[in-house]
Amino acid sequence: MADIGEALIADGFAVKGSGGIFGKKEVYTPVREYKESLIAAVKAEIMQKEEWSVHDTSLVCILQRTDSFKQYISKYENKMLKAKWKAMKKDPKNKEVRDMMNYVDDTVAVMTACIITIS
């Protein structure tokens, strides 16, 4: 993990700090400008394309299921995204993608159940 963090710092995408409960852990935080430009690029890619590639769909699936993208898009964009998502799921040529999405949903459900059971 430290190697990845150091590589991000070298490329100017992150800064090093300390964090954790006792402040003894090294953490790597994204540079705000880079983070905002990356979010803008992802938004442009998924909002403007009529059809998504498997990679785009995988990314959208992960971002949507983890609620990592919701805070960066407007209500209108979220509504558009959901409509595209539903249309994509209904398209018969996307069976493999649907299977992957179902797998992600099942995995998240199992992880949630495990966390609730352990707590």
pLDDT at 119: 67
pLDDT at 10: 92
pLDDT at 54: 74
pLDDT at 105: 82
Residue stretches of the chain with pLDDT short of 50: none
* Buried-exposed string 96-115: b where 16+ CB fall within 10 A, e elsewhere: ebeeebeebeeeeeeeeeee
pLDDT at 1: 64
pLDDT at 81: 84
pLDDT at 70: 82
The pTM of the full predicted model, rounded to 2 decimals, is 0.61
Phi, psi angle pair for 21, to nearest 5°: -60, -40
Residue 115 to residue 27: CA distance in whole angstroms? 24
